[in-house]
Structure 1
Amino acid sequence: MLKTGKRHLYLFWSLLTLLAITLPVPTQAQFADFGLSEKAPVEKLAAKGYLSLDKVQPGSQFEIAVVVEIAKGWHVNANPAKEGLIATEVTLPEVAYLVFGEVVYPAGDVLKLGSIGEAPVYHDTITIGIQADLNQTAPIGPSTLDFQLQYQACDDAQCLLPETLNFSIPIEVVGIEGTVQRINEAIFADIEFGAPLGTAADEGSLQRALSGGQVWLAFLLVFAGGILTSLTPCVYPLIPITVSIFGANESAGLFKSFLLSVVYVIGIVVMYSILGVAVASTGAVFGQIMANPWVVGFISLILVTLGLSMFGVFEIRLPSAVQNRLNTVGGAGFAGAFAMGTVAGVIAAPCTGPALAVVLTYIATTGSLFLGFWLMFTYALGIGLLFIGIGTFSGLLSALPRSGGWMYILENIFGIAIITMALYFLKDVFPVLQNFLQNSLPFFAIAGGLVLIGLCLGKLTQRFSGIPARVKFQKACGLLLAVIGAYMFVGGIQQPAGPQLNWVYDEAEGFEIAKRENRLVMLDFYASWCAACNELDHQTYSDSAVAARLDDYVNVKLDFTRTSEITKALTEKYQIPGLPVVIFLNAERTVLKRFTGFVNAEDMLSILDEIENNAQ
């Protein structure tokens, strides 16, 4: 019996030794995968994320690429996967200030899997694309985005249990004064993104054309926007300048006038494009430059000087040597036209509207300076189309008789228009010019009366030079009344129609009133160059229902048109990344609601309902 037991023990150890020797290598690997070996498990998959921009600004769109490296000999199921198989899928983080678009998965390679049949799979290295939209409330500073990747790894012999891989992507959010540029272009080159995410409600068809890849439509809209801009009042001062440059050259034929006009417009185009690209590339806000008091003052001084010369107060003449050089046939004449065009481009700069603001934002957020340059080039061509026509046919003025009061009438009207625009530019520098403006019929009736009285007293058929002192005084009074009336009309149109809110323009004063009267506070952060801010004034705050509800609030309007120590402190205090921003608070400065961008009257009423319901 003992001998039989020893024989069985010997047989057991012999079989165990034989099993260890003959066990297939793949089976050992499987044991390793299930933790039955001391050997460390092999990583089947690794993931790393990349951004399309080195920094991201609030309100901008960007892309994310997830590069997945799959170990040799292994594969994961594609997305979409064959029915019944587990697809590889990225789980997006839940971030309040970030909106993700559709995740773009690459096409898989078809692999025949035994009884399952053909199925799409990924192997080696794949890149997954994600579009993202950072809203205006995003906090400034560095942070991380935490993603997850679900997958099931398989080889030729087995499939492991589904796993989840965690990985993070660093992101840095900078303010509107920061600079951004595109990076990792080689990684994003092969990702076929669809149309970008929808943008905010205040962005129009131009933004949708840009973001949707319809470049031809974007150029068409920009060109149309330039033509419409050329019809706005602040371009009027350029008309007499154009006439004076080309109409005074009596010897120029129609063709040469056309060429000079084209060169003149090219000067506008070049100046405009260079200014726009320079501003966008440095991350600055174009409107802030044009809101600088020194810039506005310089432009207004030029306009007043031109206007007074139109009245005949004095003559603006170049030195004879310079005048003779500019009047010579050939390159000098064209050089003079180009130089005057660049000056005209500066004067026309305040006419930039929402279309150009969208283009500049697009450049700043994508870094596409090349596309942005040509879009602004097209915009300026649209502005210049009017001046090509004026410059081409202005030479015909030389065929008209020079004597007679009709020419003086034309010059006086142009002078009134030019000085009116100087006052219009100065209204954002001197609040007294802004505060009395209204958008109402009685106000316009007064303005019209002043213009009519001014034209009657203004002696438009005469110039200041060569008339008696008494007539000069009468003419000066008449022209002054005409300018004031014209300014009231032009400035009044820009004001919101309907009810007017009672604004407080100091933060501390607003909260003092709120504490004293136990009222809620609305802080409105705005700037004169902010198109969406103007839409809030004209379409939302002017609504009678909204105005009636906001009458119970302390409404504080904080001007960010120009950067100052006060605006810097408010920016840091309230984390203002862009404009407009509206914040509702109680008297203890507790934030009740905050939104960025334009909202219409209906949405504003819903916001007020939410605030008041929560406050009860």
Structure 2
Amino acid sequence: MIRLMVLAVLGLCSVVLARADFLPPDQAFRYQLTPAADGRVMLHWDIADGYYLYRKGFAIEGTPKPVAGIDFPPGEMIEDEFFGTSEVYFHQAMIEIQPGAARTLSLTWQGCAEAGLCYPPQQASVTLPGTQGSREPVPAEDQQLAATLAGGHLLWGVAAFFGLGVLLAFTPCVLPMLPVLSALVVGRQARGWQGFTLALAYVLPMALTYAALGVVTALAGASMQAVFQQPWVVSVFAALFVGLALAMFGFFTLQWPGWLRDRLHRAGERQRGGTLLGAAAMGVLSAFLMGPCMTAPLAGALLYIAESGDVMQGGLALFALGLGMGVPLLLVATVGAHLLPKPGSWMNAVKVGFGYVLLGMALWWVARLLPASMVLALWGIWLLSVALTLWRTTGQRHAPVTPGGLLAGALAVVAGGWSLLMLGGAAAGGESPWRPLASWVSGAPAPQHDFMARFQPVPDIDTLSAQLAQASARGQWTLVDFYADWCVSCHVIEAEVFGDPAVQAALGSAQLLRPDVTDNDADDKALMQRYGIIGPPTLLLIGPDGEERRAQRIIGEVDAAGFLARWQAATEQE
């Protein structure tokens, strides 16, 4: 089974590689800055055949003072598949700049290939002739990772992403997969080499699928989240976890049809202790579930692939990232299996526990599709069920009192009481599991609700440009929050970061914008493409000059302290 999956993934990658014949952006678009008369400078762009640059994709900013003037040559009007009617430059573009008091230039440009590939915006900083002391802007975390892949040795880049994968394994995105694999190992009592083989059958397809999905998605120019977190996909995954949970509770026995089961049994005589096919299928499913989580390491790998077109190196990096994420799973299956007691009645309790974990995962995934108060009610029902199950384990008569029984009883009382608070809070319109009665304490809307009302919608690029221009005229900072309804981390940031009083105070005078890319339509893709964004959550910090402080870009989940540190670092540069 594993060999077949490897061949399938390699075949898919070969198709992708066959299409990866586009030039890297630094070869498709080359620039040179040369002095001209009267203190002016000429920015000469050499554009490869079959490629073009957008007139509106240029942004030229001077530091420490703005440039005195910019003269763009007339371009050619085309009907572009990405941005509609556009003015573009073919072959070359000569831009005349009057630097004034500027000493360095921050350049932004964007171009496409006529064959159908559009590059994300590129950025660079150049020193004007006759000036010294300028410095390149500090790259952001995802840019550093992309640069590591592009400039470093292949083995070094792969090793770096393997280490990042190990770290990612302990994030809320990957950690829920630990009990899934543990259930496979515990349920089969696989030990030693058998446990390792079973875990490897889980981890290897997960890493292969993770790499293949990342490569294909990056080359297609789409967001992994939009593809694999559509409402119907999320609903299917949630229903699958509910079905697996019911099987754990004993409602039915999940198994292959008899004729297929017999054949698999005969073929797997030498693999006692594990079902490789089931582990491999769960590994592929896990890749679909974990892949959409937006983190800087993943964004760095995808950014590198999209910019350089080096699918092989980027694919290896993503494969190493997936293997690193699987290391803790392998440890659970091997080292942990030796510590498991012998089979007994305890296994039923473990199965029930895993059933509740699977139900919790189903609720966690479907939560993005439901109103917050309904989600709170469902979590209350889930916690109440856990409490009743714990209480039942302590309700046997004439049973000796044990420390474990006392602990289970105490947990049952606490869980049951809190679940009732959650249900009561949900009935009153509450939303937070940690503050279920917040809506009862005061009839006024929660402070974060008032704060979130300050976020202005951004439907397209033109609207965003106009809003940024208005903020620049007012000398105002802007926070741009790329959001989607199906993005779990977006809701976490809204509750834990934007709901924090210190964050609200820090953003008191800032303009707050929220492009909603839930639908992932043409306007949404254009907005993300404008800033080279892989997917939400991504937060842009844009200064009064209209330029993003790229080094402080936030990708993925962040807590209030981390956000404030980025915000302070960006604003203190002024």
Mark the CA change 1:221 to 1:248 in structure 2 (over 3 Å): closer, same or farther.
same
Q: Give matches, 1:407-418, under 5 Å.
A: 407-418=347-358
SS of alignment partner, residue 213 of structure 2: helix
Q: CA 1:212 to 1:546, structure 2 compared with 1: closer, same or farther past 3 Å? A: same
Contact 2:479 2:541 in 1 (8 A): yes
Residues 320 and 535 of structure 1, relative CA distance in 2, 3 Å threshold: closer
Deviation, 1:351, is: 4.3
- C-alpha contact (below 8 Å) 1:226/1:381 kept by paired residues: yes
Pick aligned residue for 1:276 from 210, 214, 222: 214
**1:269 CA drift (Å):** 1.6
In structure 1, give the amino acid aligned to 2:254.
I
Say whether 1:402 aligns with 2:344: yes
Partner residue, 1:265: 203
The change in CA–CA distance for 1:451 and 1:408 in structure 2 (over 3 A counts) is: same
Structure 2: how far apart are the matches of 1:214 and 1:198? Answer: 24
Deviation by residue 1:183-228 (Cα, 9 ceiling, x = unmatched): xxxxxxxxxxxxx976643537533422442544432332122222
Equivalent pair of 1:179/1:364 in contact (CA under 8 Å) = no
Aligned-residue CA RMSD (Å): 5.8
* Residues 1:386 and 2:328 aligned together: yes
Are residues 1:201 and 2:140 paired?
yes
CA contact (8 A) 1:139 1:575 kept: no
Report what 2:59 is aligned to. 97
Q: 2:297 aligns with which of 332, 338, 355?
A: 355
Q: Tell me which of 389, 402, 405 is aligned to 1:458.
A: 389
* Shift, 1:414, TM fit: 2.3
User: For residues 322 and 394 of structure 1, what CA distance do their matches in structure 2 show?
Assistant: 31
Match of 2:505 in 1: 548
How big is the shift at 1:279?
1.1
Distance 1:543 1:392 in 2: 42
Aligned to 1:143: 88
Moved more, 420-429 or 203-212: 203-212
The residue type paired with residue 201 of structure 1 is A
- 2 CA distance for matches of 1:606 and 1:392? 44
Superposed CA offset, 1:541-574 (max 9, x none) = 567566236456784533213324xxx4577799
Q: Residue 483 of structure 2 aligns with which residue? A: 526
Structure 2, unmatched stretches of 5+, are 1-20, 35-40, 46-54, 63-81, 97-108, 121-134, 395-411, 424-430, 437-446, 468-473, 555-562
1:228 corresponds to 2:175: no
How much has 1:379 moved relative to structure 2? 0.8
Look up the match of 1:31: none
Match of 1:368 in 2: 310
Partner SS state of residue 427, structure 1 = helix
Going from structure 1 to structure 2, the CA distance change for 1:407 and 1:351 (only over 3 Å counts) comes to farther
Structure 2 residue aligned with 1:502: 451
Q: Aligned runs of 1:411-430 on 2, under 5 Å?
A: 411-430=351-370
Distance 2:176 2:198 in 1: 19
Aligned residues of 2:483 and 2:516 also touching (Cα < 8 A): yes
Matched to 1:300, the amino acid is A
Q: Which runs of 5+ in 1 are unaligned?
A: 1-51, 68-78, 80-88, 101-137, 150-169, 182-195, 438-446, 464-473, 493-497, 586-590, 612-616
Confirm or deny that 1:325 pairs with 2:272.
no
Structure 1 position 92, deviation (Å)? 4.9
Give, in angstroms, the shift of residue 523 of structure 1: 6.3
Looking at structure 2, the residues matched to 535 and 204 of structure 1 have their Cα atoms a distance apart, in angstroms, of 24
Q: Secondary structure at the match of 2:369?
A: coil
Between the aligned partners of 1:356 and 1:571, the Cα distance in structure 2 is 19
| Partner SS state of residue 519, structure 2 | coil
Number of aligned positions between the proteins: 419
Distance change >3 Å, CA 607–CA 499, structure 1 → 2:
farther
Q: Does 1 or 2 have the higher relative contact order (CA < 8 Å, sep 6+)?
A: 2
User: Where does residue 238 of structure 1 map in the other structure?
Assistant: 177
Does structure 2 retain, via aligned residues, the 8 Å contact 1:359–1:372?
yes
Query: Structure 2-normalised TM-score?
Result: 0.55
3-state SS of 1:203 partner = helix
Q: Quick check: 2:542–2:548 contact (8 Å CA) kept in 1?
A: no
Q: Is the 8 A contact 1:247 1:397 kept in 2?
A: no
Instruction: Give, in whole Å, the separation in 2 of the partners of 1:413 and 1:246.
Output: 15
Take 2:341 and 2:321, find their aligned partners in 1: how far apart are those partners? 33
> 1:230: Cα distance to partner?
2.3
Q: TM-score, normalised by structure 1?
A: 0.52
Counterpart amino acid of 2:514? K
CA distance in 2, matches of 1:435, 1:551: 30
| Residue 308 of structure 1: aligned partner | 246
Among candidates 285, 288, 307, match of residue 346 of structure 1: 288
Are the counterparts in 2 of residues 271 and 342 from structure 1 also a CA contact under 8 Å? yes
Q: What is the distance in 2 between the residues matched to 1:544 and 1:408?
A: 46
CA distance in 1: counterparts of 2:252 and 2:323, whole angstroms: 33
Change (3 A) 1:339 1:491: farther
CA offset at residue 366 of structure 1?
0.8
CA shift at 1:238, angstroms? 3.3
The answer to whether the Cα contact below 8 Å between 1:227 and 1:382 also exists between their aligned partners in 2 is yes
| Residue-by-residue CA offset, 1:218-260 (whole Å, 9 max, x unaligned) | 323321222222223444553344244344445x663233223
Are the structure 2 counterparts of residues 142 and 262 from structure 1 closer, same or farther at C-alpha, using a change threshold of 3 Å? farther
| Offset at residue 289 of structure 1 (A) | 1.7
